[in-house]
Amino acid sequence: MLAVALHYDRKGAPRVVAKGRGTVGDKIVAVAREHGVPIEDNEVLAGALANVELGDEIPAELYKAVAEVLIFVMRLSGRLR
């Protein structure tokens, strides 16, 4: 499994804060679940985000796809209808 974690503090674009494949990917997902972080299963987007260096902002060409994930997360958390 490939997993990529993003952090968005509303300054600039979201940043890649963790990424991994196999057991590392499984651990990223497990930690997210333990902390109640919503998970979006999107292999294509994860593959594109895996090319971004840790700590870097996502590239402009991924803004739309990541925005859709952020909307999904905000709806799950009740912050957006």
Every domain of the chain and the residues it spans = 2-77
Cβ-Cβ contacts under 8 Å for 35 (sequence gap 6 or more): none
Superfamily (CATH) of domain 2-77: secretion proteins EscU (3.40.1690.10)
Q: Which stretches within the chain are classed as H helix? A: 23-34, 43-49, 63-77
pLDDT tens per residue, the chain (81 residues)?
A: 999 999 988 889 999 999 999 999 999 999 999 998 888 899 999 999 999 999 999 999 999 999 998 888 788 777 766
Q: What does each C-alpha distance from 67 to 26, 46, 62 come to in angstroms?
A: 24, 14, 8
In this predicted structure, what is the pLDDT of residue 75? 84
Is pTM beyond 0.95 here?
A: no
